[in-house]
C-alpha cells in the first residue's frame, strides 16, 4: 500500500455502506479520495470524522445517471486534485420487481445506475489515467448474484445488471491494451446494507438469521488488490460469508411454512425442492438405486460415443443429488474430451481429482492415476492446439502442467520436447535450462543425446557456435546414429567453409584485418581443421605478423601429431579436407620458409 500513499482515488456511492467503508479505508491509508454521491452531507460527515488521518476525503455531488453531472465531477477532480490513479465503481441500486410483472421504469432505473453509470465513470476515469500515463486501477463492485442467480423473489434485473460488469471489464481490458491500467471486479455475497434491506423479503429478522458480510470486508478486499504489484492483474474476486448458500435464501425467505421457517433449515430446503417438482419425497435407498441406474446409462453412452447430450443431462441430474461424486465429474470430463472441448474436460477432471481426494477412498492412488492420464491427454491436446496457432505462452502453461502431473512410470518425451521448443520460441533461455537440466536427470543414453541436440539447436539460434559444436559432438559420442546432430554439425562445418571463402576474398583485396577477423570466427565452427589454421597463418604472414604466423604453424604441428577422428560420417566434399595430409605438410614447410625469408629481409 505504500506506493498508493498520496495518490488520488474516486469512489462512487461513498455516502453509505460499502462505498463509505472503502473511502474510510483509503483515507486511513494516506490517499486523497473524491467521494461521489448524490447526498454529499453524509460524505462531509465522514470527512469530518477522518480529520487527522494521513489522507483527505472530498465530498463531490455526482449523479452517475446524468452525463453532465458525471463529467463535471471528474473535471473538478482534474482541476483540483491533478489527476486520478484509482477508480472505485460502487454506486448501485435495486428495484424490487419481477420479469413477468415488472415495469420498464424500474428496469431502466437499475440499468442506468448499475451499468450505464459505470460506463460513464470508466470513460472519464480512463481519460484522466491515460493522460497521466502511469499505473491506473479500476475496481468494480459487483455482486455474487451476477455469478449465481438466487431464487429470491423480486430480484428482477438486478443480477443481470451486475453480470454486465464482468463483460464491461473485459471489453475495457481489450481497449486498454498496451496501457498500464488494470481492471478488477469484486463480487461479494450478501452484505447487510440499505440496498438489501429495501427488499421486502429481507426483513431485519431474515437478515439477522443469514450469514452476511460487512462493508469493511469489501474494503479489505480492495486493500488486497492495491497491495499487488503493478504487473499483476486480479480479474475477479468472489467474497462469500462463511456458511452462506443460495438455497438458504429460498428456505428462509417466505417460502417455508412460518413455524418451520428458521428450524431444520437443510431438511426443509430438500423438502421444498421435491414439492416444487411435484414429486414425493423418496427414501435414501431409492435415490441411490436411481443414481446407479442413471450412471450406468450415462456411462454406456460415453463408452459407445453416442447420445452425449443425453448423457450430459443425466450427469447434471445426478450431480444435484450427489454434488461430491468424483465419478460424475470424471464422466462429464470424458464427454467434453470426446467433443474436443479440452478446457471444460480439464476443469471436470481437476474437480474429479479434488473430490476423490476429499472422499479418502482406499483405492485413491489407482483412481487418481487414471484421472491424471486423462488430464495429461487433454492438456497435451490443448497445448498442441495452442502451439500450432503460435500461442506459445498458453502452450507452455499446459506443457508445464503435464510435467508437474506426470507419474514416475509415464513417459512424456514428446511433451518435454515441445516444452523446450516452446521456451525457445518464447526466448526464455533460463526457463529452458531449468527444464533441460530436469529432463536429463535419470535419462538413458539415447534420450540424453537427443536433449543435447535440442540444446545445441537453441545455442545455434543464439549464435553460440562453440557451445553448439561441443553439445553436438557430445551427443554423437553418446549416440553416433543421432541423425539430427549429424545434420546440424554438418551445417556448422558448411558455414565455416563459407566464411573461410570470405576470408580468402578479403585476402585477395588485401584487406588483411577483415580477413583475420573472419578466419578467427571460422575457428569456432571447426577449431581442428588444418586448412583453416593454415589459412590463418598465411593471412598473418601476408599482414607482416610473422611471430603470430609461426605460432599458428606450431599449432598445426600439434594437431598433426594427435589427429582426432570425428564420431560421424561426413561425405560432403565441402567438409572433408581439400588437401591431402602430404599437401598440408608441404604447405606448412613452405609457409615456414617464406616467413623466415621475410624476417631475414
Residue pair 127/138 in contact (Cβ under 8 Å)? The answer is no
Task: Decide: helix, strand or coil at residue 213.
Answer: strand
Residue pair 13/92 in contact (Cβ under 8 Å)? The answer is yes
Q: Can 364 be counted among the known catalytic residues?
A: no
Q: How far apart are CA 71 and CA 124, in angstroms?
A: 7
Question: From the CB of residue 244, how many other CB atoms can be counted at a distance below 10 Å?
Answer: 16
In sequence order, the 6+-apart residues with CB closer than 8 A to the CB of 169 are: 138, 140, 183, 184, 185, 235
* Cβ-based burial of 302 (10 A; exposed 0-12, middle 13-18, buried ≥19): buried
Q: How far apart are CA 173 and CA 189, in angstroms?
A: 25
Euclidean distance between the first and final Cα of the chain, in Å?
A: 80
Q: In 339-412, which residue ranges form alpha helices assigned H by DSSP? A: 342-359, 364-388, 392-405
Query: 239 - beta bridge partners?
Result: 188
State the helix-helix crossing angle for 342-359 and 326-338, rounded to 10 degrees. Answer: 160
* DSSP labels, 481-550: T-HHHHHHHHHHHHHHHHHHHHHHHHHHTT-HHHHHHHHHHHHHH-TT-HHHHHHHHHHHHHTT-HHHHH
Closest CA to 339 of 383, 301, 286, 390: 301
Q: Are strands 32-37 and 8-12 parallel, antiparallel or unpaired?
A: parallel
What's the CA dihedral at 37, 40, 45, 47 to 10 degrees?
70
Residue pair 564/529 in contact (Cβ under 8 Å)? The answer is no
Closest CA to 195 of 81, 108, 263, 110: 110
Using CA atoms, how far residue 513 sits from 296, 526, 565, in Å, is: 82, 21, 32
Q: How far apart are CA 120 and CA 71, in angstroms?
A: 8
Using CA atoms, how far residue 468 sits from 442, 458, 465, 471, in Å, is: 23, 8, 5, 5
* Cβ-based burial of 341 (10 A; exposed 0-12, middle 13-18, buried ≥19): middle
Q: How far apart are CA 294 and CA 14, in angstroms?
A: 53
Q: Which active-site residues does the annotation give? A: 158
Amino acid at each position: 500500500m505504500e506506493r498508493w500513499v498520496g495518490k488520488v482515488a474516486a469512489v462512487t456511492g461513498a455516502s453509505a455502506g460499502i462505498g463509505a467503508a472503502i473511502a474510510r479505508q483509503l483515507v486511513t491509508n494516506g490517499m486523497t479520495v473524491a467521494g461521489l454521491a448524490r447526498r454529499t452531507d453524509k460524505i462531509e460527515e465522514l470527512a469530518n470524522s477522518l480529520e487527522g488521518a494521513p489522507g483527505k476525503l472530498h465530498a463531490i455531488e455526482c449523479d452517475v445517471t446524468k452525463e453532465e453531472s458525471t463529467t463535471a465531477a471528474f473535471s473538478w477532480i482534474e482541476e483540483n486534485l491533478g489527476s486520478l490513479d484509482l477508480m472505485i465503481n460502487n454506486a448501485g441500486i435495486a428495484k424490487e420487481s419481477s420479469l413477468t410483472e415488472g415495469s420498464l421504469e424500474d428496469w431502466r432505473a437499475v440499468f442506468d445506475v448499475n451499468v450505464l453509470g459505470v460506463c460513464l465513470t470508466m470513460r472519464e476515469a480512463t481519460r484522466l489515467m491515460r493522460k497521466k500515463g502511469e499505473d491506473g486501477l479500476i475496481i468494480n463492485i459487483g455482486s455474487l448474484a451476477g455469478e449465481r442467480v438466487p431464487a429470491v423473489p423480486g430480484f428482477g434485473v438486478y443480477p443481470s445488471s451486475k453480470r454486465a460488469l464482468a463483460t464491461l471489464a473485459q471489453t475495457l481490458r481489450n481497449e486498454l491494451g498496451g496501457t498500464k491500467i488494470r481492471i478488477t471486479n469484486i463480487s461479494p455475497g450478501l452484505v447487510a446494507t440499505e440496498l438489501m434491506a429495501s427488499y421486502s423479503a429481507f426483513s431485519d429478522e431474515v437478515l439477522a438469521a443469514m450469514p452476511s458480510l460487512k462493508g469493511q470486508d469489501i474494503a479489505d478486499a480492495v486493500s488486497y488488490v492495491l497491495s499487488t504489484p503493478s504487473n499483476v492483474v486480479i480479474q475477479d474476486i468472489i467474497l462469500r460469508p462463511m456458511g452462506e448458500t443460495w438455497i438458504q435464501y429460498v428456505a428462509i425467505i417466505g417460502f417455508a411454512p412460518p413455524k418451520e421457517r428458521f428450524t431444520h433449515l437443510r431438511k426443509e430446503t430438500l423438502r421444498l425442492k421435491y414439492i416444487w417438482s411435484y414429486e414425493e419425497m423418496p427414501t435414501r435407498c431409492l435415490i441411490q438405486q436411481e443414481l446407479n441406474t442413471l450412471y450406468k446409462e450415462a456411462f454406456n453412452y460415453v463408452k459407445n460415443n453416442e447420445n452425449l447430450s443425453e448423457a450430459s443431462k443425466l450427469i447434471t441430474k445426478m450431480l444435484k443429488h450427489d454434488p461430491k461424486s468424483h465419478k460424475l465429474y470424471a464422466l462429464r470430463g470424458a464427454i467434453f474430451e470426446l467433443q474436443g472441448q479440452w478446457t471444460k474436460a480439464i476443469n471436470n477432471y481437476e474437480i474429479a481429482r479434488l473430490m476423490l481426494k476429499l472422499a479418502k477412498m482406499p483405492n485413491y492412488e489407482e483412481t487418481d492415476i487414471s484421472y491424471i492420464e486423462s488430464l495429461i491427454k487433454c492438456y497435451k491436446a490443448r497445448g498442441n492446439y495452442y502451439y500450432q496457432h503460435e500461442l506459445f505462452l498458453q502452450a507452455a502453461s499446459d506443457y508445464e502442467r503435464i510435467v508437474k502431473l506426470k507419474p514416475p512410470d509415464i513417459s512424456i518425451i514428446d511433451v518435454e520436447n515441445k516444452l523446450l521448443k516452446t521456451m525457445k520460441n518464447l526466448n526464455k533461455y533460463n526457463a529452458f535450462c531449468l527444464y533441460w537440466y530436469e529432463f536429463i536427470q535419470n535419462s538413458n543414453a539415447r534420450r540424453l543425446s537427443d536433449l543435447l541436440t535440442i540444446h545445441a539447436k537453441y545455442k545455434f539460434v543464439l549464435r553460440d557456435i562453440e557451445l553448439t559444436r561441443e553439445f553436438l559432438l557430445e551427443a554423437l559420442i553418446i549416440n553416433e546414429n543421432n541423425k539430427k546432430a549429424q545434420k546440424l554439425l554438418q551445417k556448422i562445418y558448411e558455414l565455416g567453409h563459407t566464411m573461410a571463402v570470405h576470408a580468402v576474398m578479403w585476402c585477395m583485396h588485401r584487406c588483411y584485418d577483415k580477413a583475420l577477423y573472419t578466419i578467427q570466427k571460422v575457428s569456432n565452427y571447426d577449431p581442428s581443421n588444418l586448412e583453416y589454421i593454415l589459412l590463418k597463418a598465411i593471412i598473418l604472414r601476408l599482414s607482416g605478423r610473422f611471430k603470430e604466423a609461426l605460432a599458428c604453424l606450431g599449432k598445426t604441428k600439434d594437431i598433426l601429431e594427435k589427429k582426432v577422428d570425428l564420431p560421424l560420417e561426413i561425405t560432403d566434399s565441402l567438409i572433408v579436407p581439400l588437401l591431402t595430409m602430404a599437401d598440408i605438410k608441404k604447405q606448412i614447410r613452405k609457409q615456414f620458409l617464406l616467413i623466415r625469408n621475410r624476417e631475414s629481409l
